[in-house]
C-alpha cells in the first residue's frame, strides 16, 4: 500500500498511472463508461462488467524505430509488441482487485461475434484522452503517434480525463501537403481511388470526410493471420488430389500463417504503410 490517501479517487488513479508507467506504458487515461453510448449495444463497458464505473486505458509498446526502417515489412508478424500492452493491462487488473478490492476486467483482445471487438479500444483511447482519430483510422497520440492500446474496465471510481481538446490529425506537414497536392502522406500511399484503402478530404485544417475500404485493408493486413488460415485450410480440405493438398499445407503462405498465429499469439498486420509515412511521432522513429 502506498502512502497516498486511497479513500480519495484521485489517489487510486495516480497509483494506477504510476504502476502503468513502471510497466512500460507511455500514456494512460480514464474514460467515462457513460460516454460509450455511441458503441453498439453489447459492446459497452457495462455489457462486459455490470456496475463498471471507469475504463482505464494504457498505450505504448509501438513498433521499434528499426521496425519502421526495415524494407521487409512482413517481419512485424513475429516481432510484434502489441501483446506487451495487453499483458500490462491484465497485470493492472490484478493490482486493482488485490490492492483496492474492486472488480477489474481486461477488455479481451481479439474479436467477439461478427468479428466485432468486445469493446472498441479506439473509442476507449479517444474517450480517455490518449489520442484522436486520424485520416488513416488509428488513434494517434500527440507525442508518440501510432501505438497499441489496452483497457481495463473497473468498478473502481476514477476521475475521468475525457477526450483531448485538440485533434492530432492532420499534422502541420499534412496540411502543407494537402494545400500543395490535394493529398496527405497516408492518403497518397494508399489511395482508395487507385486500389488503396484510404480516402478523405480536409477543409479549414480539419478532416471533413474520410473513407476506408475495410475489405481491401483486411486482405492486406491479415494475409498471414486467421482469415488466411481459414482460407488455406478450406482449400486443402476441398482438394481431392493428395499431392496438391500437401502443397497447400506446406506452402510458404500457410507456414507463415501458422508461425504468425502461434509465435506472435496476437492479431498481426503485414501492412503499416499509412503509419510508416505519418509525421506524428516521427521524431521517435528517426534515429541514427
- Which residue carries 484522452 as its cell? 129
Q: Is the pLDDT of residue 207 over 60?
A: yes
Domain match, 243 and 147 both? no
pLDDT tens profile 119-134: 999 999 999 999 999 9
Q: Which of 151, 150, 132 is nearest to 52 (CA)?
A: 151
Helix (H) or strand (E) holding 133: strand 132-133
Domain match, 19 and 115 both? yes
Q: What is the pTM of this model?
A: 0.86
Helix (H) or strand (E) holding 208: strand 206-212
CA 213 to chain centre: 18
Residue 30 lies in a domain: yes
Which of 126, 154, 182 lies at the terminal end of a domain, its last residue? 154
Q: Is the pLDDT of residue 3 over 50?
A: no
Mean pLDDT, all residues of the chain:
89
State which residues form the domain around 69.
Answer: 9-154
Check: CB of residue 219 under 8 Å from CB of residue 210: no
Domain match, 20 and 126 both? yes
Residues making up the chain, counted from first to last:
288
pLDDT tens profile 99-115: 999 999 999 887 788 77
Residue 229 lies in a domain: yes
Per-residue confidence (pLDDT) for residue 228, from 0 to 100: 78
d(CA 193, CA 43): 32
| C-alpha cell at position 264 | 506472435
Domain match, 251 and 115 both? no
Domain match, 245 and 111 both? no
Counting residues of the chain whose pLDDT is more than 90, the rounded percentage is 69
Q: Which of 206, 224, 204, 222 is nearest to 214 (CA)?
A: 222
Question: Per DSSP, what are the bridge partners of residue 202?
Answer: 207
Residue 45 lies in a domain: yes
Within 10 angstroms of residue 103's Cβ, the number of other Cβ atoms is 18
Check: CB of residue 142 under 8 Å from CB of residue 168: yes
Residue 128 lies in a domain: yes
Residue 284 lies in a domain: no
Check: CB of residue 221 under 8 Å from CB of residue 269: yes
Question: Per DSSP, what are the bridge partners of residue 199?
Answer: 211
Q: Could you give the number of structural domains in the chain?
A: 2
pLDDT tens profile 237-252: 999 999 999 999 999 8
Domain match, 117 and 27 both? yes
Per-residue confidence (pLDDT) for residue 263, from 0 to 100: 66
Domain match, 15 and 135 both? yes
Amino acid at each position: 500500500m502506498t502512502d497516498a490517501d486511497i479513500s480519495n479517487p484521485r489517489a487510486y488513479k495516480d497509483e494506477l498511472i504510476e504502476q502503468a508507467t513502471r510497466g512500460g506504458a507511455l500514456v494512460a487515461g480514464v474514460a467515462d463508461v457513460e460516454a460509450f453510448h455511441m458503441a453498439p449495444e453489447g459492446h459497452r463497458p457495462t455489457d462486459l462488467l455490470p456496475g463498471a464505473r471507469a475504463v482505464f486505458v494504457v498505450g505504448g509498446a509501438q513498433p521499434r524505430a528499426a521496425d519502421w526502417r526495415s524494407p521487409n515489412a512482413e517481419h512485424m508478424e513475429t516481432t510484434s509488441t502489441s501483446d506487451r500492452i495487453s499483458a500490462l493491462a491484465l497485470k493492472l487488473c490484478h493490482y486493482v482487485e488485490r490492492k483496492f478490492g474492486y472488480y477489474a476486467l481486461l477488455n479481451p483482445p481479439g474479436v467477439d461475434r461478427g468479428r466485432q471487438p468486445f469493446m472498441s479500444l479506439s473509442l476507449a483511447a479517444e474517450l480517455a484522452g490518449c489520442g484522436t482519430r486520424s485520416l488513416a483510422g488509428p488513434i494517434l497520440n500527440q507525442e508518440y503517434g501510432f501505438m497499441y492500446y489496452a483497457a481495463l474496465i473497473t468498478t473502481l471510481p476514477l476521475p475521468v480525463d475525457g477526450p483531448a481538446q485538440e485533434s492530432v490529425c492532420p499534422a502541420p506537414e499534412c496540411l502543407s501537403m494537402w494545400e500543395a497536392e490535394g493529398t496527405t502522406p497516408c492518403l497518397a500511399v494508399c489511395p482508395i481511388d487507385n486500389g488503396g484503402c484510404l480516402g478523405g478530404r480536409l477543409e479549414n485544417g480539419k478532416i471533413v470526410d474520410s473513407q476506408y475500404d475495410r475489405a481491401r485493408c483486411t486482405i492486406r493486413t491479415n494475409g498471414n493471420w486467421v482469415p488466411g488460415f481459414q482460407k488455406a485450410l478450406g482449400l486443402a480440405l476441398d482438394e481431392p488430389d493428395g499431392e496438391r493438398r500437401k502443397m497447400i499445407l506446406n506452402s510458404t503462405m500457410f507456414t507463415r500463417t501458422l508461425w504468425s498465429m502461434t509465435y506472435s499469439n496476437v492479431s498481426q498486420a503485414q501492412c503499416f504503410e499509412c503509419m510508416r509515412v505519418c509525421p506524428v511521432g516521427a521524431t521517435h522513429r528517426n534515429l541514427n
